[in-house]
Amino acid sequence: MSSKHFDTAASGWDKKSRRVQLAEKISAAIATLPLNKDMDAMELGCGTGLVGISLAPSLRHLTTIDTSQGMLDVLKEKISQQQITNISPIYCDILTEEYSKKHDLIFSSMTLHHIQEINSLLHRFADLLNPGGYLALADLVTEDGSFHDKEAKGVYHPGFDPQELGKILSADGFTDIKSDIIHTISKPEGSKNSYPVFLLTARKK
């Protein structure tokens, strides 16, 4: 993933109401899973923590991972200000760096389209989940490429077909695979361009 853009954007990331609203929708949808205080979770592409901070109170511990130091710095400041004790931010690329901690829940929000090797990432998630652990992935349904600006870098996919992702997960031994449209983004606000966002959930055998 390209991190320079996100480092630059980090300080103003939470100022877009559309972005905050989306995070709230995703957090609420993930919260319908049977979360509990015995769960150790991981969020990939945590950004400034808009989703993770909302879910952390329902978990024992949350490891938040990103490849943008700028985003992690903003998250660390929030953790300090809010005196959160169960979130550990980590700078890491789990596809190229050593990471072996096992989790009971792995989730990501609007991160998949920034990952070139999706199959490799889904296999990695399977490796890092404990048996019976949950996976929750939120991203754009396949679109025409107009969601991101033409000069945007580090965008490898114009959304996804959640059914196709589900097939990959099924081959990796996941069960209870479900997907729902949980939100629709209008960009710019009020325009006729709408982009559905799905949440795909699955459980490792």
Scanning 82-161, the segments in alpha helix (DSSP H) are 118-128
**What is the H or E stretch that residue 167 is in?**
helix 162-171
Residue 45 pLDDT? 96
Residue 147 pLDDT? 92
* Domain 4-204: assigned CATH number: 3.40.50.150
Q: Tell the residue number behind the tokens 């990432």, with chain if given.
A: 121
Residue 174 pLDDT? 98
Q: How do beta strands 194-204 and 174-186 pair? A: antiparallel
Residue 192 pLDDT? 65
Q: The tokens of 101 are what?
A: 């901690």
- Kindly report the number of other CB atoms within 10 A of residue 187's CB atom: 13
Pair 62, 88: CB distance under 8 Å: yes
What one-character DSSP code corresponds to residue 115?
A: -
End-to-end CA distance of the chain: 30
Residue 32 pLDDT? 98
Residue 184: what are its φ and ψ, rounded to 5°? Answer: -130, 125
Task: Give residue-wise pLDDT tens across range 137-168.
Answer: 999 999 999 998 876 778 999 999 999 999 99
Residue 193 pLDDT? 84
Pair 87, 62: CB distance under 8 Å: yes
- pLDDT per residue of the chain (205 residues) written in tens, 0 to 9: 457 677 677 777 777 888 999 999 999 999 999 999 999 999 999 999 999 999 999 999 999 999 999 999 999 999 999 999 999 999 999 999 999 999 999 999 999 999 999 999 999 999 999 999 999 999 999 999 999 887 677 899 999 999 999 999 999 999 999 999 999 998 776 566 899 999 999 999 9
Going from N- to C-terminal start, the domains of the chain cover 4-204
Residue 187 pLDDT? 78
